[in-house]
Amino acid sequence: MRTPASSPLKVAIIGAGKPRATAGATGFGMAHRHLAGYAASGRCTLAGVADLSRENADAFVAAHNPAAAVFSDFRRMMRTIRPDVVSVCLWPHLHAQVVCAVARFKPRVIICEKPMDIHWDACLRMHQACQRNGVLLAINHQRRFNLPLAKAKELLDGGAIGRLLRLDGAWHNLSDAGTHVLDMMFFFNGDLPAEWVLGQIDMRDATKVFGAINAGHGLSEFRFQNGVRAVYHFGHQHAELGCLLRLTGESGVIEILFDAPWLRIRRHGQVGWEVIDTGENIHDDKAIYRGIADVLACLDAGTVPQLASERALRATEIIFATHESARRRGRVDLPLRSGKCAMLSMLASGEIKAKFTD
């Protein structure tokens, strides 16, 4: 039964971490940013934190709600406090395992950090576990809410460059930062499914991001069901594309840049670029808070939030289909069958070897 709109919500955090740039921090301190989003809603109370590091958990509750309970075992936390909302802010290889376990306790919503997991079958499993248990699963592809990107979508939908023909993107890697770029490609094209993927990876200059292996260089081309083509360049010399995202339409081009001025457009007949100033960059934490607000509003309304796992799965499928295409040395038609990550399987078998950057 749906609870009344704007009813109070108990929040639980799994994986407190430390705020970015503080002593001993190993990441971005996303749990602290999630809490800021919950606090902004005016209806959420931190009820519990689970973390293997008691120091991190104690510091977290001290910063956000000293009355919240601290646990080393997230299952015990779920049984004890029965939260409405759960944030999973762990490293990627733990996401599916923890989300599936939490879903059995039937919170109203789970907000999980990206990427979904390091294996395609695990990503499907976490989505399906939440569906079975009536739990809304959201993946933190928050850049949909950064103003330069949201304004680009508004310009596109308003016909500023005519019908969308092609999408190009470039960033550091495929699975971590890249999941944002791929998600934005789906966002700009109405979250329509893709029909095939052709990709290649190079394991020189490979990296580990929060424990997850990423190829050092690669390319992924795919086609949406409406005929729009997309190409994503990642890793080695990716910046040579000249922009993070390029939207090419029948009558103009929109670019989202790596740095200020962030957003520009060249309409049909224009000689130069027109800069669009939204007063915000593409990394602003306000996007996280807006994403959480959208999830909570959709939870009340029974509608699909921008961060819903069914949307996130489409970008995630491109990641794993790119690895599978590299293994097959050929095009992969979608939907991609459930299975382990082809890149990790090839590394395990010795078929490919990774050379990591220092």
CATH of residue 209: 3.30.360.10
Sign of the alpha-carbon torsion through 74, 117, 191, 188: positive
User: Does 238 reside within a domain?
Assistant: yes
Residues 339 and 204 placed together within one structural domain of the fold: yes
- The answer to whether residues 135 and 153 belong to one domain is no
Give the residue numbers spanning the domain of 121. 9-142+286-306
In order along its 358 residues, the chain shows pLDDT tens digits of: 345 567 899 999 999 988 766 776 666 789 999 999 999 999 999 999 999 999 999 999 999 999 999 999 999 999 999 999 999 999 999 999 999 999 999 999 999 999 999 999 999 999 999 999 999 999 999 999 999 999 999 999 999 999 999 999 999 999 999 999 999 999 999 999 999 999 999 999 999 999 999 999 999 999 999 999 999 999 999 999 999 999 999 999 999 999 999 999 999 989 999 999 999 999 999 999 999 999 999 999 999 999 999 999 999 999 999 999 999 999 999 999 999 999 999 999 999 999 998 6
**Residue type at 233?**
H
pLDDT at 18: 81
Residues 153 and 137 in one domain: no
Mark whether 124 and 255 lie in a shared domain: no
Assign residue 271 a region: left if phi > 0, alpha if psi is -120 to 50, beta otherwise? alpha
Please give the tally of structural domains in the chain.
2
Q: How far apart are CA 93 and CA 118, in angstroms?
A: 6
Shared-domain flag, residues 30 and 94: yes
Position 358 in a domain? no
Query: Would residue 3 count as lying in a domain?
Result: no
pLDDT for position 357: 83
Regarding whether 175 and 39 lie in a shared domain, the answer is: no
Which sign does the torsion angle of CA 276, 315, 179, 104 carry? Answer: positive
Whether residue 261 lies inside any domain: the answer is yes
* Confidence (pTM): 0.95
Give the residue from 116, 256, 242, 221 showing the smallest Cα distance to 179.
116
Residue 4, in any domain of the structure: no
Determine the pLDDT at residue 28. Answer: 77
Euclidean distance between CA atoms 180 and 175, whole angstroms: 9
Q: Report the candidate in 73, 82, 38 with the shortest Cα–Cα distance to residue 54.
A: 73
- 174, 215 Cβ separation under 8 angstroms: yes
- Determine if residue 36 is left, alpha or beta; phi over 0 gives left, psi from -120 to 50 gives alpha, anything else beta: alpha
Beta-bridge mates of residue 86: 12, 110
- My answer on whether 196 and 339 are in the same domain is yes
Q: Same domain for 129 and 176?
A: no
DSSP state of 347: H
Do both 238 and 90 map to the same domain?
no
84 and 67 within one domain: yes
Domain assignment present for 357: no
Do 109 and 232 lie in one domain? The reply is no
Whether 175 is covered by a domain: the verdict is yes
Q: Please check whether residues 51 and 35 belong to one and the same domain.
A: yes
Domain-located, residue 164: yes
Backbone phi, psi, residue 296, to 5°: -65, -40
Euclidean distance between CA atoms 254 and 243, whole angstroms: 10
CATH number, residue 40: 3.40.50.720
